[in-house]
Amino acid sequence: MTLRVLVVDDSAFARKVLRKVLSDAEGLEVVGTARDGLDALERVAELKPDVITLDLVMPSLDGAGFLRALSGMPDAPRVVVVSSAGADSDLAVAALQAGAVDLVHKPTALATDRLYELGAELVEKVRVAGRAVPRYANELEAARNAAPARLLPAVSTKLLAVGTSTGGPQALTRLLSALPRDFPAPVVLALHIPAGYTEAVAKRLDSQSALEVVEASDGLELVPGRAVLARAGYHLKVVRHGTLNLARLDRHPLGTPHHPSVDVLFQSVAEVWGKDALGLVLTGMGEDGLQGARALRAAGGVVLTEAESSCVVYGMPRAVAEAGLSNGSAPLDALVPLISRFV
């Protein structure tokens, strides 16, 4: 199936570049472009695209306003944000929390040929967005039909490790906002997102959660009531120093597809916490977390997965569940009660 794509950007040069890289990709058809949010709303009604690439800083109606307008539309197209880190970071994170499927980082805000560098990543993420489910639907019904947790004897989780990718900012917002202030275990989080955005993600999550949410720094203590988000570009590992449990930032191993890697985080958690660890794999593309889940289960820990019904992309949780490594699966809004059985 050919995906119909609408390119929205106030820069004529950016529209030209994005149109070119997407039109050259198999299975994608650019059906139109728009110069701002108001223009884009008209184009959506006229052209009925499957996916929109969205700039955020535009005149008349910016990206955030466009997303709000889009949210009221039945069968709304999926959105991939194309953004510059820095001044746009907060806007980009807000857009992801508001329902944008994914984010592509512009290598430059200038009208130069460097914009072509985003081509391969943009094409991949537009294709994934075309298969994504943009909203969480029928979760109450799905919760009744969720696979029950296979409760383990004598389990007392003392650390929660979470991994996610596509759709992750929305999922983390809902998960962390549901955890109580007195949640008795430290939380460590790995999210696939371009470098330059995780500080903004942590700040927004902190404002929306009873927990303290911070971007990881080397040597930061892991304590109950605190959630630590891996810094993009680095692996987050957990280490024990005497009686202290600390975050460690590390660029090694270098060969992983993602920095941070959910596998690397979970494997370090398995080594340090063993049977006292709970791993949670949320919505995301690919299989990152599969080997980490295997290590956690081998160490005696528990692994839970988000059910397909609430995933934007059912990739990472599917890989873990189909490998027989999930102790239980539930839609996102039913995961906190499930977690509470173990913590």
Residues with catalytic roles: 165, 192, 288
Tokens, residue 221: 């203590």
Of 337, 308, 312, the closest CA to residue 321 belongs to 308
Question: Rounded CA gap, 239 and 318, in Å?
Answer: 29
- Which strand ranges, in their side-by-side order, compose the sheet holding 28-34? 28-34, 3-8, 51-54, 78-83, 102-105
Of 71, 72, 76, 73, the closest CA to residue 50 belongs to 76
Tokens, residue 230: 């891996």
- Per the DSSP assignment, residues forming a β-bridge with 164 are 191
Of 103, 163, 100, 162, the closest CA to residue 132 belongs to 100
Question: Rounded CA gap, 102 and 165, in Å?
Answer: 9
CA distances from 289 to 199, 214, 249, 309, 335 (A): 23, 22, 18, 19, 18
CB distance 74 to 185 below 8 Å = no
CB distance 13 to 115 below 8 Å = yes
Instruction: Assign 224 to helix, strand or coil.
Output: coil
Tokens, residue 194: 């371009």
Helices (H), 30-115: 37-47, 63-71, 89-97
CA distances from 273 to 72, 221, 239, 317 (A): 45, 15, 9, 22
Question: Rounded CA gap, 181 and 154, in Å?
Answer: 25
- Per the DSSP assignment, residues forming a β-bridge with 7 are 33, 53
Question: Rounded CA gap, 172 and 290, in Å?
Answer: 19
Helical (H) or strand (E) element with 265? helix 262-273
